[in-house]
Amino acid sequence: MTEPLLRRLAARGERLTVAALPWVAAVYRLMPQVSEVIELPFAHGGLQWQARRTLARRIKGRFDAAYVCPNSLKSALLPFLAGIQQRIGYLGEARFGLLTQRLKNPPRNQRPPMVAFYSALSGERNLDGDRPLLQATKVEIEQTLQQLGLPWAGYYVFAPGAEFGPAKRWPADHFAELARNLDHPVLLLGSAKEHALCEEIATPVNASQAGKCINLAGKTTLVQAFHAIAGSLCTVSNDSGLMHVAAALGVNQVAIFGSSSPLHTPPLNTRADVLWLKTEPGYQPALDCAPCFERNCRFGHTRCLNDISAHQVLQGIERLKRL
């Protein structure tokens, strides 16, 4: 989501260092406009004041400006403690004194798509055409498949997880039904925490079609996952980080939305087929509750996802084949 912002900054001559948590640092190392990546040593939760002060002393005097992308107080502390003169970010979480250039943070229901939201930190206009771009070469894809022991000429990728919660996850049995009806094998990608979820998909499929699904959740590096997506015939996912990776790589993809909104975080990809029952003509009863942006369905039915059939996703895959 921040890649177009970085591309804009690099195009006007800024030399970029990105400070990122380890789990996302690999993404920035794939971006040619990024000169350096600093992995942040912070754990989740708490200010970790001493760790921030230590890192701030290390980087003091190195930077002219800091673009603070997250909206948290914690993320604005480091550039403040490091004495970086220009500190640009959105207002929120009592950050007024920590930032020198403050953009008004629009209400969630009026916020633009996240790519434009981040790109606005550049101070430039005409943000509508921005979309993230990542690249993977044929050699890189082939090397990764060889490392993973996958000699396939054609395969699909499923990314059935969604870190935010169950209200963003298409049911495992729907993914399994889709896998049974595809004409090539399926790679299941995700974090180690999603291995059990992926196994719920792979086990019943492999019981009748041995080897059809390979569960790689937690078994790949982030870069290997990117390469696997880049080589896929089509990637099927929920609204998740890997959905945006597929979009940035420009592969065929079907993106399934439930509690969140493709108006806010769409896959910016001309080869994306988006399924969201909120805007499906004729779907009844209407989903007045969507998008709720909740972790769990407050009504307990999660119709927004349960009622999207494997057949609908398969139709989306077939539409993309004809492009």
Q: Dihedral sign for Cα 302, 303, 309, 314, please.
A: negative
| Co-location of 87 and 149 in the same domain | no
Residue for token pair 């919660």:
165
CB atoms within 10 A of CB 318: 11
Q: What is the pLDDT of residue 208?
A: 96
What is the model's pLDDT at position 128?
A: 79
Specify whether 109 is located in the same domain as 159: no
pLDDT at res. 215: 98
Is residue 128 included in any domain, yes or no? no
- Is the same domain home to 249 and 148? yes
Whether residues 142 and 117 fall in one domain: no
Whether 48 is in a domain gets the answer yes
What are the contacts of 244-248 at 24+ separation with CB within 8 A?
Answer: 244/1, 244/132, 245/27, 245/134, 246/157, 246/159, 246/272, 247/131, 247/132, 247/272, 248/3, 248/131, 248/132, 248/133, 248/134
pLDDT digits (tens, 9 = 90+) for 262-287: 988 899 999 999 999 999 988 999 99
Q: Which of these three, 122, 149, 168, is where a domain ends?
A: 122
User: CA 179, 232, 320: angle at the middle one, nearest 5?
Assistant: 80
Q: Does 277 lie in the same domain as 169?
A: yes
Q: Quick one: how far is CA 279 from the chain centroid?
A: 22
Q: Which candidate, 171, 156, 133, 165, places its Cα nearest to that of 256? A: 171
> Domains in the chain: how many in total?
2
What share of residues in the chain are helix, strand, coil (percent, to 5)?
40, 15, 45
Domain that holds residue 185: 138-321
Q: Is residue 86 a part of any domain in this protein?
A: yes
What does the pLDDT read at residue 39? 95
The residues near 46 (Cβ < 8 Å, ≥ 6 apart) are none
Pick out the chain residues at pLDDT < 70: none
Strand partners, 68: 89
Side-chain-side CA neighbours of 222 within 13 Å: the count stands at 12
Q: In angstroms, rounded to a whole number, what is the distance separating the alpha carbons of residues 270 and 250?
A: 8
Both 293 and 172 in one domain: the answer is: yes
* CATH (domain of 271): 3.40.50.2000
Question: How far apart are alpha carbons 185 and 21 in whole angstroms?
Answer: 33
Task: Name the pTM for this structure.
Answer: 0.84
Question: How many CA within 13 A on the CB side of residue 31?
Answer: 28
Q: Are residues 82 and 144 in the same domain?
A: no
Q: What is the pLDDT of residue 77?
A: 95
- Residue 11's Cα: distance from chain center in Å? 24
Give 65's DSSP letter. Answer: E
Structural contact between residues 281 and 222, judged by C-beta atoms closer than 8 angstroms: no
195 shares a domain with 88? no
| Three-state DSSP state, 312 | helix
